[in-house]
Amino acid sequence: MLEQNLQQQMRQKLSPQQIILMKLMQIPVMLLEQRIKEEIENNPALDISEDSSDNQEDKSEDFEMPEEEKDDKNEETERESEPEDEFSLEDYLDEDDIPDYRLYSNNYSENDDTKEFPIVSSKSFHESLLDQLRLRDLNEIDMLIALQIIGSIDDSGYLSRNPEIIADDLAVMKNIQVDGKHVIEILQVIQDFDPAGIGARNLRECLQLQLKRKKPTQAVRHAIIVLDKHFSEFSKKHYDRIMRRTGMTEKQLRNAVAEILKLNPKPGDFSPDIYLTNQSIIPDFLLYMSGDKLDIQLNNSHIPELHISRDYQEMLEHYSKSNSKSNSQDKEAIQFVRNRIDAARWFIDAIRQRKNTLMAVMNAIATVQKEYFISGDEGDLKPMILNDIAQKLEMDVSTISRVVSSKYVQTPFGTFLLKNLFSESFQNEDGDEISTKEIKQVVKKLIEKEDKSSPLTDDKLLDLLKKQGYGIARRTVAKYREQLGIAPSRMRKEL
């Protein structure tokens, strides 16, 4: 049976301004400039200030929408000294119909500075494989098999599908009846392509393919033996077993391992333009020392000043003063202009609020970590979590998280991620609270100084940490070691 009831509910709903602000808060300065350009392209009511004076900025930011006739007198007073341009509704509605030839003029001089940016293009390794395949003399069937194999090679350069399954795929999709043995024969042709190791079905085969192309020195021959017959022991670094079973001396095994370590475990991860991947970091904050005081600045060098387009302001004033509001086209035009100006105002306000919030959060972080910013020693880092800054500024933790996310600060001793300044607290034997980062640094230094022929186990690390006053559990030692990206002791063993 259907019933109708009235209920009152309280729901939290974000306004468009809040949504814009949250999105802007999260992106770093290197992406903010691009985001502003996109907004300018999408919203013609938003413009970049040519005059960066305070008067221009104030006029653009404090502009209020004329809604009723009671605001007309104030607007007339503000623009009394400025001539009002005539505006035609037909011109506005037909703005997109202007022929292209009327927007260009031959007024460029030979001395003008023309900036051209070269565009570098490069081939992926899949395209490189296809180019090499075209140089092989294969019949139509073998060519289709080779194309299917290349399409099954993943980005790391490994064959991701079993040859038997590839044969089934060819039977279903191409109506080609071949067996897995025939597919393997074509695979061996592709495995001769560059770079070495392409088309391998596992890491062992990938390394073997690369070794076979090397000059057959004694070290290479020993390396081939290790991979062919003792790969399991090699992966577990059981070097004693390998020497007993192969009769190699420690020096011979060391040379063989050195040859294996030179190989590329991911032959597909290559790029002829590898330098293009090296991108510089643009810090969001700049921190300087002024005596014993910290000077913090927001990096706004790449961010243009924004204001509402004067043309759109005049356009709205013109419509507000006109007596043709009964015209449906005029009403649509007024609504469009108002919506565009509203969106521009919201975006400008969000940029300003972003700046204020980022500076407030960074100042709070600097107050807590002042000793660290002065010395640069990670041992001076104090325990600090997001909730500490949130309570200090009376903000929500999610806001602090957005500010900290992907943001960098440039200091006199390096550029760091803000999130790296946060860590949990730990109480030592003396009852003092210290940062977990301090313990991680101690673990890192102990491992750097260890004997690589007999690396420190987690139990030995635990004993050494307890001697220094850090009474933590063994699982905590293992967790910190993993967070530092350090392998277990057996994987750190060297000859």
| 314 confidence band (pLDDT: 50, 70, 90) | confident
Residues 131-147 have pLDDT tens digits of: 888 888 888 888 888 89
> Which residues, 6+ apart, have CB-to-CB distance to 319 below 8 Å?
325, 330, 333, 334, 337
**Secondary structure string (H, E, C) spanning 91-103:** HHHCHHHCCHHHH
Q: What CA–CA distance (Å, rounded) separates 56 from 41?
A: 21
Predicted pLDDT of residue 85: 44
The better pLDDT of the pair 258, 473 is held by 258
Instruction: Examine the pLDDT at 67 and tell me if it is beyond 60.
Output: no
Inform me whether the pLDDT recorded for 65 exceeds 50.
no
CB atoms within 10 A of CB 380: 15
What residues form DSSP beta bridges with 119?
none
Backbone φ/ψ region at 68: left (φ over 0), alpha (ψ -120 to 50), beta: beta
- Is 50 exceeded by the pLDDT of residue 348? yes
- More confident position, 19 or 151: 151
Query: Minimum mean pLDDT among 89-93, 288-292, 303-307: which range?
Result: 89-93
pLDDT at 218: 92
The count of other CB atoms within 10 Å of the CB of residue 298 is 17
* pLDDT number for residue 175: 85
pLDDT tens figures, 429-449: 665 667 777 788 888 888 888
What pLDDT sits at residue 13? 67
Tell me which of 177-191, 288-302, 311-325, 396-410 is least confident: 311-325
pLDDT band at 14 (very low <50, low <70, confident <90, very high): low
Please tell me which residue, 198 or 29, carries the higher pLDDT value.
Answer: 198
Written as one letter, the residue type at 84 is E
Name the more confident of 290 and 91.
290
- What's the confidence (pLDDT) of residue 70? 41
Tell me the average pLDDT across 92-114.
Answer: 45
**pLDDT at residue 329 tops 80:** no
Residues forming a β-bridge with 306 = 48
Is residue 221 within 8 Å of residue 259, measured between CB atoms? no
- Angle, nearest 10°, between helix axes 328-368 and 310-321? 140
DSSP letter assigned to residue 136: S
Residues in contact with 355: Cβ distance below 8 Å, sequence separation at least 6, in sequence order: 298, 300
Secondary structure (DSSP) of 189-209: HHTTSSSTTTTBSSHHHHHHH
Do residues 418 and 407 touch, judged by C-beta distance below 8 A? yes
**43 Cα distance to chain centroid:** 27
Between the alpha carbon of residue 300 and those of residues 279, 304, 405, the distances in Å are: 19, 8, 18
- Calculate mean pLDDT across residues 152-161: 87
State what percent of residues in the chain have pLDDT above 90. 4
**Could you tell me the end-to-end alpha-carbon distance of the chain, in angstroms, rounded to an integer?**
80
| Res. 122: pLDDT tops 60 | no
At residue 431, the pLDDT reads 58
pLDDT at 427: 64
* Residue pLDDT, tens place only, 351-370: 888 889 999 999 999 888 88
pLDDT at res. 250: 87
The residue assigned the tokens 């949130």 is 390
Backbone φ and ψ for 340, nearest 5 degrees, come out as -65, -40
d(CA 169, CA 152): 11
Q: Helix 218-229 crosses helix 239-246 at what angle (to 10 degrees)?
A: 110
Q: So what's the pLDDT on residue 222?
A: 92
The single-letter DSSP state of residue 159 is B
Write the pLDDT tens digit of every residue in 23-57. 888 888 878 888 888 888 888 888 876 554 444 34
For residues 240-268, average pLDDT: 88
Domains of the chain: residue spans and CATH: 23-37+276-422 (no CATH), 125-261 (no CATH), 424-495 (1.10.10.60)
Range picked from 12-21, 223-232, 420-429 for highest mean pLDDT: 223-232
Question: How far is Cα 210 from Cα 195, in angstroms, rounded to an integer?
Answer: 9
Alpha-carbon distance 241 to 74, whole Å? 92
Q: How far apart are CA 246 and CA 260, in angstroms?
A: 17
pLDDT tens figures, 215-250: 889 999 999 998 999 888 888 888 888 898 888 898
Q: Which amino acid is at 196?
A: A
DSSP string, 18-77: HHHHHHHHHS-HHHHHHHHHHHHHH-TTEEE-S--SHHHHHHHHS-----SGGGHHHHHH
Provide mean pLDDT across the span 84-107.
Answer: 44
β-strands 408-411, 285-290: how paired? Answer: parallel
Section 437-462 average pLDDT:
83
* Burial class (CB within 10 angstroms; exposed 0-12, middle 13-18, buried 19+) of 73: exposed
Q: Which residue has the higher pLDDT, 429 or 208?
A: 208
Instruction: Say if residue 472's pLDDT is above 50.
Output: yes
What pLDDT does 116 receive? 45
> Rounded CA gap, 267 and 220, in Å?
19
Q: Which two tokens stand for residue 44?
A: 């013609």
Asked if 138 and 180 touch (Cβ cutoff 8 Å), the reply is: no
pTM above 0.75? Answer: no
Give the residue, 49 or 148, on which the prediction is more confident: 148
Mean pLDDT for the stretch of residues 409-416:
86
CB 333 within 8 A of CB 93: yes
> What are the backbone dihedrals phi and psi of residue 442, each rounded to the nearest 5 degrees, phi first?
-65, -45
Please give the mean pLDDT across all residues of the chain: 77
- Does 480 score more than 60 pLDDT? yes
Higher pLDDT, 276 or 286: 286
Distance CA 274, CA 172 (A): 39
Estimate to the nearest angstrom the gap between the alpha carbon of 231 and the chain centroid: 36
CB 60 within 8 A of CB 393: no
Residue 110 predicted with pLDDT over 70: no
